[in-house]
Structure 1
Amino acid sequence: MLSNTLKSCIHAAFLISSIFISQARAEANEITRIANTPIWLTLIHSWHSNAQITDASFLLSLPNYSAANELTETLALIKSDSQAALCRFPARVTYLANALNIRLTGAQIELCPELQKFINHVPFDALDVVYASEVLSSASSMMGHIFLKASGVNFKGNLVEHSLAYFTEIDTLNPAKLIVDSTIKGMPGFFSVRPFHKDKAQYRDTESRNLWQFKLDLSSAQKTLIQYHLWELNQINMTYYFQSFNCATLTLELLALAKPNIMSERSIFVSPADIVKA
């Protein structure tokens, strides 16, 4: 009798152990699957398994960065404090909540004051891609410039339009230094959010450049995801590389949040004109 009881206990323990192992494997497989989805890779700006943004406030998995590690750390943050996670990474958390059916009990966008301020002031009722033609006399504009324009009715009931652009500032006239800084060392990248009429006046009236606008056919959820992610990017430090992480690169990746297949157009160098063609 004792022997049979002992055997039953061992068998039960083995079954429980097998269940836990199976669950762990299933969770690991799910993390691997999600970590390799185009939208997750775009949200963390991973390119060929490399991080294009290395700000520690943006990547949780440093110094052991990988797409899977970043996902694991993000899920841990959600588990420990879903409200803090939502306020810090609204695009990531929104995507993962939908992809993994995570219930964010009590977590609300309305409880994120800085994010809510951005939403109130920069509505995303409509989204356009804007291409400013090239200026051959300017090193920073010889390939043209491309950015997004968000428009809609703000919290005051006014119709507003905002430019959402990534750029760098050239502070040297030395061609050799400029090449090294812009392609090897990298230059400080700036993400600006400002009234569109200022850019329109600058490019069209002051610089006599052509402006082309392309309205995007996106769902409300797609526009919201881009809006949330733009807010994430506006809070961090980024490094601008002329050949690999410029205004066109970032614009292409933002568009990929809505249309992942557009990343097939990504190559080592992406120009503003390439985005228009895509």
Structure 2
Amino acid sequence: MNLKASLLSFSLIFLMAIQANAQQPENFTQLAQTEQWRALLHINTQKQGSEIESYVDDASFFLAPDGAVNPESELLATISALKEQADTQCKFPARTLFLLENITTLSKDVKPFYCQEYRDWRNKLNTSRVVLVFASAQLNSPSSMYGHTFLRFDPESVEQDSTYLSYALNFGATVPDGDAGFLYAARGLTGGYPGNFAANPYFEKIKEYNRLENRDLWEYKLNLKQDEIDAMLAHIWELQGIDFEYYFFDENCSFRLLELLDVARPGLYLANNFPVTAMPLDTVRVVQDAELIADTHYRPSILTELKVQLAMLTDDENILALALSKDIKVLKKPEFISLPIKQQQIIVDSAYRYLRYQNTFNGRPKETTRRSYLLLRRLSENPSKLSIPIEQPQRPDLGHKTAMLGFSLGQNLDKSFVEVKYRGSYHDLLDPIAGYYQGMSLNMVNVMLRAYEGGDIKLEKAELLDIVSLSTRDSYFSPWSWKANISLEQQWTLDKEVLVTQGSGGGGVSYELLDNTHIFAFATGRLEFNRKLDSFAAVAPGAQVGLLHYWPKSTLLVEAEHYQFLFDQTQRSRVSFQQSIPLGDNDSLRLSADFHRVEGKEQQPVNSFQEFKLEYRHYF
């Protein structure tokens, strides 16, 4: 492999130039329109005529002045450069390979050129296997809400547990220091950041995702052949330092990786599957559908490993482990000494792992570092290393798809209605849980149209964003749960229903009472623009409590919430019962019953009503 990589830019390109299916010079127009040449220029193969434009936003990537919009012009400019400047082979090794394969006469005019930097780079990677890696979703980071994908390049004879020496290729936005919050979201949504490829040792990605961000990694080994890997790497070299526009929802990390796979194996058209949005999880699915995945490997985060280990302890043993993490003298207490040696080892190891986890985020205080060292020394006295088996959960790419279309029948105030719902992405608390995390809800572009008997049609809701993160608290961990929602929605007043604009959210706590049973409570707030209230822009503090329970074949959500508007005596209360039943991987039924109460000023009537609904959902 080292020899092949070393000579790739020098000899292989000429051996490959004698392909039997080579094109003749008079077919340049046809050659410029091939999927492979367009893939090398990052031009969508479905675009024609004036729609043609490269995704690359960097003039240095093109040799022709109009190369970004004219693939034939760029092809001719590349041929001319290869003939006149031999070192063009070093800047564009993938283009060079493609042209020599397809133009039989070109090898006579292009002199071999030894590309030292390219050879050194290929030797360093020494790649014989490519792995697609999916980092699971992290709701507490806006750029990681939908997960993230990147590629890993493994050298020859690498074993699964020694991939720390592999390299990772990541595509990400270059964000200036200080950009955060609304500015970060606005620029990310509108292509305000440049995006670039960067290669780093894989162990750095493990540290970033597995250890610092507590995200599980799913590694999908791809069945690319060596010549396909070589073609991909040659093109990656061409993209070093090249800028793309970066968009959170379409031209993002995952979309760019699909373009690389389209270069490696022409004819897949993977990137064409995502003309509007490219959710990382959906891109993994199209790679699976293209039969590119040969094997998978699950790499749990250190937090996942720690929670699995703590779950193996009894309540009394957990009390000892937590106490031991705070006081090394627990090792000498009778209740610890009386335990079997195996349980002592698990308790000590749990306390040590918990301390290490805490030190990751609190700067390694001197006292906790000392306790960590003493616990490690105690562990070294054990005759064998502790091994904790972790059951692999369902692969995220095998869970339900992220877009959803729903059809409902229901009744509101004794009036029947039908409802059609579309959701662009991603998953809510009641969707089929296989492949997703409990207590996580992330929905964007959620639109509901409702038609009442008699022909009255209304926009029931248009939700831009709806997030719920139920982070479970226990004696070891105390994360905050939170929620946020921005939408247009129909809202009942004392006498009629009106369309309002609102933003709401809150923070609170969540606990797991029993396995798969969560309770939660939020302190909430709401800003509502409603012409029927005393103040058009009205503020309402509120509260919400709820219960979420997962059965193997069903999910129940019970919620109660109350809002009291300031400077207005309007109060709103709602109690909701929802039950979902999966019908398969991508279909489900949902039953819901909502009980509403609206109170106004004194001596005004109270508006109480109920709504019942049966909904069929299809995920695609």
Confirm or deny a common fold (TM above 0.5). yes
CA distance in 1, matches of 2:36, 2:276: 20
CA distance 1:45–1:77, shift in 2 (3 Å): same
CA positional deviation for 1:173: 2.3
CA distance in 2, matches of 1:88, 1:94: 12
CA positional deviation for 1:174: 3.5
CA positional deviation for 1:207: 1.4
Partner amino acid, structure 2, of 1:143: Y
Q: 1:161 aligns with which of 162, 166, 169?
A: 166
CA distance in 1, matches of 2:171, 2:64: 25
Q: 1:67 aligns with which of 71, 74, 90?
A: 71
Partner amino acid, structure 1, of 2:281: A
Does structure 1 retain, via aligned residues, the 8 Å contact 2:130–2:229? yes
Task: Name the SS of the counterpart of 1:165 in structure 2.
Answer: strand
The answer to whether structure 1 residue 97 and structure 2 residue 100 are counterparts is yes
- The residue aligned with 1:219 is 225
The answer to whether structure 1 residue 275 and structure 2 residue 283 are counterparts is yes
CA positional deviation for 1:134: 0.9
CA positional deviation for 1:169: 4.2
Partner amino acid, structure 1, of 2:56: I
CA positional deviation for 1:239: 2.6
Task: Name the SS of the counterpart of 1:50 in structure 2.
Answer: coil
When normalised by structure 2's length, the TM-score is: 0.38
CA distance in 1, matches of 2:153, 2:171: 14
CA distance 1:118–1:137, shift in 2 (3 Å): same
Partner amino acid, structure 1, of 2:149: I
The answer to whether structure 1 residue 54 and structure 2 residue 60 are counterparts is no
Task: Name the SS of the counterpart of 1:274 in structure 2.
Answer: helix
Partner amino acid, structure 1, of 2:285: K
Does structure 1 retain, via aligned residues, the 8 Å contact 2:189–2:248? yes
Q: How does 1:234-273 map to 2 (within 5 A)?
A: 234-259=240-265, 260-263=267-270, 264-273=272-281
CA distance in 1, matches of 2:203, 2:168: 9
CA distance in 1, matches of 2:248, 2:268: 24
- The residue aligned with 1:189 is 195
CA positional deviation for 1:153: 4.6
CA positional deviation for 1:183: 3.1
Partner amino acid, structure 2, of 1:42: A
Structure 1 stretch displaced more, 85-94 or 113-122? 113-122
Partner amino acid, structure 1, of 2:83: K
The answer to whether structure 1 residue 229 and structure 2 residue 229 are counterparts is no
Task: Name the SS of the counterpart of 1:143 in structure 2.
Answer: coil
- The residue aligned with 2:350 is none
Percent identical pairs in the alignment equals: 28
- Number of residue-to-residue matches in the alignment: 245
In structure 2, runs of 5+ residues without a counterpart are: 1-23, 287-620
- The residue aligned with 2:115 is 112
When normalised by structure 1's length, the TM-score is: 0.81
The answer to whether structure 1 residue 140 and structure 2 residue 148 are counterparts is no
CA distance in 1, matches of 2:246, 2:39: 17
CA distance 1:92–1:270, shift in 2 (3 Å): same
CA distance 1:135–1:169, shift in 2 (3 Å): farther
CA positional deviation for 1:209: 0.9
Task: Name the SS of the counterpart of 1:222 in structure 2.
Answer: helix
Q: Which has the larger radius of gyration?
A: 2
CA positional deviation for 1:219: 1.6
CA positional deviation for 1:265: 2.1
Structure 1 stretch displaced more, 164-173 or 186-195? 164-173
C-alpha RMSD of matched pairs (Å): 2.2
Deviations 1:73-129, CA, capped at 9 Å, x for gaps: 111111223x31210100111111112233165414xx1122112111112211111
